[in-house]
Amino acid sequence: MQNFTVLDLCIFIGYILIIIILGLWFGRKKNSEETTADYFLAGNKLTWWAIGASIIAANISAEQMIGMSGSGYKIGLCIASYELMAAITIIIVAKFIMPIFIKKGIYTMPQFIEYRFDNRVKTVMSVFWLIVYVFVNLTSILYLGALALQNIMGIPMMYGILGLAAFAAIYSIQGGLKSVAWTDIIQVILLVGGGIATTVIALDIVSEGNGILSGIKTLLTDASDKFDLIVPRSTDPEIWKDLSGIGVLIGGLWIANISYFAFNQYIIQRGLAAKSIDEAQKGMVFAAFLKLLIPVIVVIPGIAAYYIHTNGLVDLNISRPDDAYPALVSLLPQGLRGVAFAALTAAIVSSLASMLNSTSTIFALDIYKPHIDKQASEAKLVKVGRITSFVALILAVLTAKPLLGGLDQAFQYIQEFTGFVSPGVCVIFLLGIFWKKMSANAALWSAILTFVFSIVFKIFIPGMPFLWRMALVFVVLCIIAAIISYVDNKSSDDKKAMDLDKSLFHTSTSFNIGALAITAILSVVYIIFW
């Protein structure tokens, strides 16, 4: 094991044992029959701090710790737009979307689609989500996590994939969302603490021992080209292709973020499990604040690794951008190395567990019960959920390396692939919620055509940045949905249109203050690093 001491191993093993013990404890049965609400929604008892922590733990995985840090190494701070824009997106979702789902008693996103449209649309979207969750999200988490294990500890790729899968399975499959959400609190503490430690050490190396402030100054001066949040096309056409200048503020990034934080099962499920609407909203504000920290503990280390490597300050074993974060972790002093590695593993395992729970939720409640066994009991649905999690994990284990093994920057691949689905998801939900004429046929064609148009535009307009392509597909789908809806409903509203009361969007004073603070911070950051 590369540079790992007995102390590092003890810290890491201690972390594993604590998570497993707590996960099994929180997931234990308290009643004779475990209900779907108990297993899939933690009995609707999550507090704001558990919700916020769990959202971030579910969201931040190897995709960010390895992939985004790798993008920081290669293209710089502009990759942080995903995190910064996500913070404001979470606020919008908390105010305008979450109250609707909670009031309607929604468990899953497909359930809402059936409520607003029909079973056809629900089934199509359920299948889409299951495919993406298993063959994009689960595989990427496993592969990038195993890559870190390989680079830091010298563990062979396949053993790393199997180890991570087994770790997540031990507590999450048995305990459901209760185990996942409550252990996520510890995962986030480790994630933030370990990430800060890695950032501090990296900046100290950059400054050649003169402290973090000197390190920051050095990066801002000598690596200034890495600190542009808005990159014009003339600066670097390749970077612009991934993060298309002003497009990160007005283009497809909004589509990606809204789809992910508002209508993505494994993110929104935390809010749906809240004690109340107010508790869910406060939890999402907390998550938004944590989101602002992510560039500090993920992107900055990547930029620091670039500076260290290119200037030869330390011999970093970096052959491709995604090696950056693992290389930095290996430089940490003993003890901290174990903490940082535990933090990295926490990010991986918490996301893995969250994805498994959401996959099982959709299959059990939206596929199995309506199409296979309509009379299935609560206990049987929970059992089906556990089996689904196990099968999904096996599929991800078998396909992780074949699907992602040849990629230099997995983060960008993941974003582009999920971008095939995101425009259709946004059209279906946003128009379905806020436009009373939106019809089931329009929603069905939006679900089908989002893939079709995304692939067509990618083939015939290869030079178009994928964020712009997402925006274009969204606009095209909106036009098509509008035409179909007017044909279906003509002069009347859709029979299943939603009647929304303005009082539903009332928010507490604490929420409003938090939202204003986040908006102010983002404004300052974009002004400074424009």
Domain assignment of residue 499, yes or no? no
Interior/surface letters 47-79, b for 16+ CB within 10 angstroms, e for the rest? bbebbbbbbbbbbbbbbbbbbbbbbbbbbbbbb
SS3 497: coil
CA 95 centroid distance within chain: 20
User: Tokens for 103?
Assistant: 């009031």
Residue 245 is predicted with a pLDDT of 57
Residue 520 is predicted with a pLDDT of 94
Domain assignment of residue 182, yes or no? yes
Residue 431 pLDDT exceeds 70: yes
Domain assignment of residue 338, yes or no? yes
pLDDT tens digits for range 58-80 = 787 766 777 788 888 888 788 88
Residue 12 is predicted with a pLDDT of 83
Tell me how far apart the alpha carbons of residues 224 and 201 are, in angstroms, rounded to a whole number: 20
Q: Name the more confident of 68 and 3.
A: 68
Residue 290 pLDDT exceeds 60: yes
SS3 372: coil
pLDDT tens digits for range 232-266 = 655 556 665 666 556 667 777 888 889 989 998 87
Domain assignment of residue 451, yes or no? no
Q: Which domain holds residue 33?
A: 6-412
Mean residue pLDDT across the chain = 83
The sign of the CA dihedral 438, 443, 445, 450 is positive
Residue 130 pLDDT exceeds 80: yes
DSSP state, residue 294: H
| Domain CATH code at residue 108 | 1.20.1730.10
Residue 235 is predicted with a pLDDT of 55
Domain assignment of residue 519, yes or no? no
pLDDT tens digits for range 339-372 = 877 877 777 787 788 888 888 888 988 899 888 8
Mean pLDDT check: name the lowest of 156-170, 334-348, 467-481.
334-348
Contact 243, 233 (CB under 8 A): no
Tell me how far apart the alpha carbons of residues 67 and 71 are, in angstroms, rounded to a whole number: 6
Tell me how far apart the alpha carbons of residues 299 and 71 are, in angstroms, rounded to a whole number: 8
Residue 1 is predicted with a pLDDT of 47
Helices then strands, counting H and E runs in the chain, come out as 28, 0
Domain count across the chain: 1
Interior/surface letters 345-374, b for 16+ CB within 10 angstroms, e for the rest? bbbbbbbbbbbbbbbbbbbbbbbbbbeeee
Tell me how far apart the alpha carbons of residues 316 and 70 are, in angstroms, rounded to a whole number: 14
Domain assignment of residue 247, yes or no? yes
Q: Which ranges in 419-465 belong to alpha helices (H)?
A: 422-426, 432-434, 440-460
Tell me how far apart the alpha carbons of residues 87 and 66 are, in angstroms, rounded to a whole number: 20
**Residue 209: count of CB within 10 angstroms of its CB:** 9
Tell me how far apart the alpha carbons of residues 408 and 322 are, in angstroms, rounded to a whole number: 7
How crowded is the C-beta side of 239, counted as CA atoms within 13 Å?
Answer: 24
Domain assignment of residue 123, yes or no? yes
Task: Identify which of 328-337, 481-490, 494-503 has the greatest average pLDDT.
Answer: 481-490
Domain assignment of residue 449, yes or no? no
The sign of the CA dihedral 139, 145, 148, 149 is negative
